[in-house]
Chains A and B, each alone.
Chain A
Amino acid sequence: MSQLLGIPPQALFGQLLLGLINGSFYALLSLGLAVIFGMLNVVNMAHGALYMVGAFVAWLLLTYAGVGYWGALILAPLVVGLVGLALERTLLRRLYKVDHLYGLLLTFGLALIFEGAFRHHYGVSGQPYPIPDLLKGGTNLGFMYLPTYRGWVVAASLLVCLGTWFAIERTKLGAYLRAATENPTLVQAFGINVPVMVSLTYGFGVALAGLAGVLAAPIYQVSPMMGSNLIIVVFAVVVIGGMGSILGAIVTGLGLGLLEGLTKVFYPEASNIVVFVIMAVVLMVKPAGLFGRER
């Protein structure tokens, strides 16, 4: 079996793995967007920039403080989360009573500022970030070669996504979150401090982006524009999955990553647009998205 539908299996599985990796990042990022949109009604255009900040924090920690990958895996999401908290408390909070569009514009502006600032200081060429020693090398699975780090990224992303899903759908804290997404006033009238919950939700959502940034650093280079390259596809993922749907974000993220990979094998010319074609079709057939609920 050296050929599969006229494609060497190495190429097929290679692209599928690449698709799975991309899908992991789509899932992590669209998950954060979904959580934020559900609770804050903000289309967080700064998400890609904060993903980039996460990667840069990891690189800065390594370059200037000697803190390695594992430390950065904890610290960078924390830093990004705190940045998010500050943004929510000082800026986003003022926009909840006005149209969605203002939140989108504000966060888009923030994205430009973050990207501009990093481009100014570090230039557009990417900074390399080494793979941690523990995750170097790879395994020959027979039908393909699996680099350890890439396997780790897929596993870690899946774990974080499922953990987040569990926390939101199956715990008391998650019940507060779901209830406050539906009717924040009533949840407040039960004695929950909803504004603090909203801040923490935004902080958590962008911390996920920061975490994705650290995971991405050794695969893609750490560059100021890495977020804006990714975020447009991620928004398409969120729309396809259904705005605000947690499970939708995870499943669609991974699924579309794989589909992109497959397209690269069978019809490479379409690989850049396949996600958007699917988005158009889904919007025509099911405007609320695959997992979304009509509002």
Chain B
Amino acid sequence: MPEGMRATTARTGTAMLDIADLHGFYGESHVLHGVDIAVRQGEVVTLLGRNGAGKTSTMRAIMGIMGKRTGSIRFQGQELIGMAPHKIPRLGIGYVPEERGIFSSLSVDENLALPPVVKEGGMTVPQIHALFPNLKGRGATQGTRLSGGEQQMLAIGRILRTGAGLILLDEPTEGLAPVIIEQIGVAVRALKQRGFTILLVEQNFRFAATIADRHYVMEEGHVVDMIPNDQLHANMDKLHTYLGV
């Protein structure tokens, strides 16, 4: 990582989430090679990068659900590396996985109620229904019978109940129709207004550009660049090269 960026990270000493020199492994394969990321309270930050750049692995490393991790992941000053995986979400981190993770043996209501409330101030079910009207009246439906977009809404909605302040959103727009992507975008902006801090993995940077404050670009398991959203247009050529689009 360039020296200048290190300095940026260092200046955000009050970051809500501060990842420094994170290495991660799946068995023998070394997938994260010194990731540095800082997310301030209330920010929406994206991780951009090609497939296999380490975006999802970074999220899994934060949640403690990957093999071995070294380096440092601090959330509100607490070190997550070495912490039991089930304790990490209890600090107030909500995870919306890439594959959405809707349970087929649970109804929509059961899926929504599944993640335990970890902090006060989570959204109520009527509030979640207001944010995602598609989920209303579908409570008894088997979770996986919802459409892809509705499953995504359910995956996000169930985390909002828990009171988690930091939400990890892994590719919420993947495989969805433009009109649904628009709906998810509206919801994410609403969440930002409510003060949620969001770390977002995206391949679709046009979507990311409409909601994020800053973008980290990942390549081969580490962060290679950080672009504030207002400088995104000036950096379009660079970004095209990074993402190969």
Whether B86 and A194, one on each chain, are in contact in the complex, defined by CB atoms closer than 8 angstroms, is yes
**Would you give the 0/1 interface string for A183-204, flagging 1 where the beta carbon is closer than 8 Å to chain B?**
1011111111110000000000
Q: Which stretch from B32-40, B48-56, B106-114 is at the chain A interface?
A: B106-114
Does chain B have a CB within 8 A of A172?
A: yes
Does chain A have a CB within 8 A of B205?
A: no
A155 to B103 alpha-carbon distance, docked (Å): 34
Whether A191 and B115, one on each chain, are in contact in the complex, defined by CB atoms closer than 8 angstroms, is yes
Q: Which residue of B lies closest to A191 (CB)?
A: B89
> Which A-B residue pairs are the 10 nearest by beta carbons?
A191-B89, A190-B115, A178-B105, A186-B101, A193-B86, A189-B63, A179-B103, A175-B110, A191-B90, A189-B95
How many residues belonging to B are interface residues under a CB distance threshold of 8 Å? 24
CB distance from B172 to the nearest CB of A (A): 16
Chain B residues closer than 8 Å to A190, beta-carbon distance = 89, 95, 114-116, 162
CB distance from B38 to the nearest CB of A (A): 22
A188 to B84 alpha-carbon distance, docked (Å): 10
A172 to B86 alpha-carbon distance, docked (Å): 18
Whether A175 and B113, one on each chain, are in contact in the complex, defined by CB atoms closer than 8 angstroms, is yes
B residues neighboring A (CB under 8 Å) = 63-65, 84-90, 95, 97, 101, 103-106, 110, 113-116, 118, 162
Chain B residues closer than 8 Å to A175, beta-carbon distance = 106, 110, 113-114
Chain B residues closer than 8 Å to A24, beta-carbon distance = none
A189 to B97 alpha-carbon distance, docked (Å): 10
Whether B104 and A182, one on each chain, are in contact in the complex, defined by CB atoms closer than 8 angstroms, is yes
A231 to B89 alpha-carbon distance, docked (Å): 41
A205 to B144 alpha-carbon distance, docked (Å): 28
Evaluate whether A183 and B115 lie within 8 angstroms (CB atoms) in the complex, with A189-B65, A190-B95 already known: no
Does chain B have a CB within 8 A of A181?
A: yes
Whether B105 and A179, one on each chain, are in contact in the complex, defined by CB atoms closer than 8 angstroms, is yes
Chain A residues closer than 8 Å to B90, beta-carbon distance = 191
Chain B residues closer than 8 Å to A114, beta-carbon distance = none
CB distance from A35 to the nearest CB of B (A): 13
Chain A residues closer than 8 Å to B64, beta-carbon distance = 189
CB distance from A215 to the nearest CB of B (A): 30
Whether A188 and B114, one on each chain, are in contact in the complex, defined by CB atoms closer than 8 angstroms, is no
Whether B65 and A188, one on each chain, are in contact in the complex, defined by CB atoms closer than 8 angstroms, is yes
Chain B residues closer than 8 Å to A13, beta-carbon distance = none
Whether A192 and B106, one on each chain, are in contact in the complex, defined by CB atoms closer than 8 angstroms, is no
Q: Which residue of B lies closest to A197 (CB)?
A: B86
CB distance from B149 to the nearest CB of A (A): 20
CB distance from B112 to the nearest CB of A (A): 11
Does chain B have a CB within 8 A of A276?
A: no
The contact sample of 18 A-B pairs, CB cut-off 8 A, is A172-B113, A175-B106, A178-B105, A179-B103, A179-B106, A182-B103, A182-B104, A182-B105, A183-B101, A186-B95, A186-B97, A188-B86, A189-B64, A189-B88, A189-B89, A191-B90, A191-B118, A192-B116
